[in-house]
Structure 1
Amino acid sequence: MPATFVPRRPLVVTSDDDLLDDLLRLAAAGGSEVDLAPDPANARPRYSAAPFVLIGVDQAKACVQARLPRRPRVVIVSAPHHAGAAWDLSEALGVEHVAVLPSAEPWLVDRFSQPASTLDAMPRGAVVAVVGGRGGAGASVFAGGLAVTAKKAGLRTLLVDADRMGGGLDLVLGWEEIDGLRWPALSQSDGRIDAAALIGSLPNRGGLIVLSWDRGELLALPGEAMAAILDAGRRACDLVVVDLPRQLDDAAVMALQAAVRTFLVVPAELRAAFAAARVVAAVQMHCVDLSLIVRGPSPGRLKAKDLVEQLHVPLAGILRPEPAIVRALERGEAPASSGRGPLASLCRRIVADLMGPAREASA
């Protein structure tokens, strides 16, 4: 797990030595250090979490082709003779600004001077992603249990349902009758969401806030909307738990790249293990820390260590059979709400592991 949840340096993406020299000079004038990436492949692991991103015009087309997820606070930097190409690519990248040197140098110095003071106001809540190794793996129940447990531990928690084909996390919690905005009302967000307004508009009880789907038309979830929700959630909450689809879209990739840990929930079954291998291959391209939750029972006596060896993913925990959860969900009771049983015990341990480093980082 990373030592800190808040990136301290802006990300510069360029392989143009002259442009890089200019940006390093301007960063030094603004009293800032930067992270460097020569291309989008190297930038991807840090792209979503950086406080802001400067993309050299030499890498702008490559970033579009790499389908880097949209996010706020992205700037293309260009010399005057390439400004036209920079503007042509700006919409595809969803950039905030095109900075043409040397006229934009004072603006960039001011931008570089902001991180030291701004980062204290940057999101400090940890993002955790959960994905199922196959359909019906129990990932949504685990995500719900994790959020409920975090709330019981005194953490303000945002639970995000990013799986538009799922049954809805509001149903998992028994919250379908609670008023508040759902994804369709927020899916056209342009990245400017006031954190306090967001928290006040979503279904919530105490310190647990939920963003789920309604029962209407299925809409695509843009990466920009996910970026805005993650940004607002990290500002307003201690923990953001995102329940992801197995087929990754731009929004899911955005969440994976922002997550400090990703948990893959896999039933202890042979077919589930083979299905999970495909999910692992897709997810590992975008996350920094993937670990396995193995859920019993195992009809074929498949052990957790067998899944670890087959998937090459470290084990985070084992969920023993818990028939009472199914009955509780049918009664509208949120998973792990009783504080008893294997799910609640595992969630308590994971929340403690997550928030110990998070609190040290924000101290």
Structure 2
Amino acid sequence: MNRPTAWLRAEPVLEHVLRLCAAAGTEADQAHRVAEVRAAWAGAPLVLLDDRAVIACAEAGLPRRGGIVLVVAGTPPPDCWEHVVRLGVEQVVSLPEDEPWLAAALADSTDAPAGTRGRVLAVLGGRGGAGASVFATAVALAAVGAGANALLVDCDPMGGGLDLLLGAEEEPGLRWPDVRLRSGRVPVSSLHASLPGRTKGKSRLTLLSGAREGDGPSSDAVVSVVEAGKRAGETVVCDLPRAPDPATRAVLDRADLTVIVIPAELRAAAATKRLSKYLAAQGVQPALVVRNAPHLRPSDIAKAVDLPLLATYRRDPGLPARLDGGTFPLRGSLSRASNTVLRALKTGAGRVR
């Protein structure tokens, strides 16, 4: 089990943290000097340090990493802030005021890979019926096929539900109308336990789908889910509607990469041009994923809409029937395009925000 590492010399603070660990179902490996922290640096999902420990670790040259938390009682002393920045401390926790945040972070830590943050992909269609939902699902499946955990989030309140694409409409688990979330931290383990999913080896695809009736997601709920996936190091893929709404804007604000999926058609290019102007006003410049068509080249479409071309794929005429039959075969050019986008998401090569 992944366990946090704690170097906390104030006995009341340490006891408080150990109680929170027990409530979260984990234990903390206690350190007493820099060498012990260094030994756990690469493997611990969460590192809890007091102000003196932060200074010692920074002066010892430990590299920046995610998941470092400064834990104090009261206010941190001024002489530690330079070292907080140098070490890349993610959060400053003052006990007892910030106990809820730390308790949720400890619960997350049992699920999170050490020092990693998940990346978020936003997928939109350049026009209606462009295939954005299919492509978003394909990228999530590609992530699982590559050995990662993925969280596929259906953000279209008027869509038919992504569970239909995976043949999961009869599977137990919550959909958006059943999810009662407001702002706040949600442990990813709760999502795994309550949502339908697919597994391949040790990797899992967790699906939060819309439904055929009921309300769509609120922006606060979407943020809570996306942040849970990021903290757990998962690949988060969000299928967004073309019409802007608060949930869409919340995802775009957090996306590491945004792609627009369109067929190589003149009408699709015109619609995408308008969509890209809206995104530019939000500070987002997306990349294009173009489905080949007989008469126009993907490069011509990219030039017409003035966006970078990230990937192309061919239409599979047999895919709709297979999807209706409850199977999603990830193969051929769709598989290659999905993996191209996945690599760009991981490396940041496609990020143009």
Q: TM-score, normalised by structure 2?
A: 0.65
SS at match of 1:334: coil
Cα pair 1:127 1:242 within 8 Å, conserved: yes
SS at match of 2:281: coil
Give 2:212's aligned amino acid.
Answer: R
C-alpha spacing 1:52/1:315, structure 2 compared with 1 (3 Å)? farther
Q: Distance between the aligned counterparts of 2:328 and 2:311, measured in 1?
A: 20
Q: Distance between the aligned counterparts of 1:226 and 1:249, measured in 2?
A: 12
Q: Distance between the aligned counterparts of 1:122 and 1:154, measured in 2?
A: 18
Unaligned runs of 5+ in 1: 10-24, 35-49, 54-72, 74-103, 359-363
Q: Distance between the aligned counterparts of 2:134 and 2:247, measured in 1?
A: 21
Structure whose residues are more often helix by fraction: 1
Give 1:143's aligned amino acid.
Answer: A
Rg (Cα) greater in structure: 2
Aligned pairs (5 A) from 1:252-267: 252-267=248-263
Matched, 1:168 2:165: no
SS at match of 2:192: helix
Cα pair 1:187 1:222 within 8 Å, conserved: no
Q: 2:198 aligns with which of 190, 205, 211?
A: 205
Name the counterpart of 1:185: 178
Cα pair 1:158 1:208 within 8 Å, conserved: yes
Name the counterpart of 2:276: 280
Cα pair 1:148 1:334 within 8 Å, conserved: no
Deviations 1:252-302, CA, capped at 9 Å, x for gaps? 11111111111100111111111111211122334555100111324xx12
User: 1:6, CA displacement in angstroms?
Assistant: 6.5
Q: Structure 1 vs Structure 2: percent identity of aligned residues?
A: 38
SS at match of 1:173: coil
Q: Distance between the aligned counterparts of 2:333 and 2:196, measured in 1?
A: 27
SS at match of 1:145: helix
Q: Distance between the aligned counterparts of 2:252 and 2:180, measured in 1?
A: 18
Equivalenced residues, count: 265
Q: Distance between the aligned counterparts of 2:301 and 2:65, measured in 1?
A: 29
C-alpha spacing 1:134/1:51, structure 2 compared with 1 (3 Å)? farther
Give 1:180's aligned amino acid.
Answer: G
C-alpha spacing 1:302/1:312, structure 2 compared with 1 (3 Å)? same
Name the counterpart of 1:226: 222
Unaligned runs of 5+ in 2: 1-63, 70-76
Q: 2:332 aligns with which of 331, 341, 348?
A: 341
- In angstroms, what is the RMSD of aligned CA positions? 3.7
Name the counterpart of 1:351: 342
Cα pair 1:262 1:291 within 8 Å, conserved: yes
User: 1:32, CA displacement in angstroms?
Assistant: 3.4
Q: TM-score, normalised by structure 1?
A: 0.64
Name the counterpart of 1:131: 124
Q: Distance between the aligned counterparts of 2:117 and 2:312, measured in 1?
A: 29
C-alpha spacing 1:265/1:214, structure 2 compared with 1 (3 Å)? same
Aligned pairs (5 A) from 1:258-337: 258-286=254-282, 288=284, 290-298=286-294, 301-336=295-330
Matched, 1:236 2:198: no
Deviations 1:215-258, CA, capped at 9 Å, x for gaps? 222x2522211110011111234200000011121111111111
Name the counterpart of 2:30: none
C-alpha spacing 1:120/1:52, structure 2 compared with 1 (3 Å)? farther
Cα pair 1:6 1:123 within 8 Å, conserved: yes
Deviations 1:296-327, CA, capped at 9 Å, x for gaps? 324xx122122212211100111212112122
Q: Distance between the aligned counterparts of 1:281 and 1:146, measured in 2?
A: 25
C-alpha spacing 1:237/1:172, structure 2 compared with 1 (3 Å)? farther
Q: Distance between the aligned counterparts of 2:197 and 2:113, measured in 1?
A: 26
Aligned pairs (5 A) from 1:89-100: none
Name the counterpart of 1:18: none
C-alpha spacing 1:158/1:31, structure 2 compared with 1 (3 Å)? same
Q: Distance between the aligned counterparts of 2:133 and 2:232, measured in 1?
A: 23
Name the counterpart of 1:44: none
Cα pair 1:261 1:288 within 8 Å, conserved: no
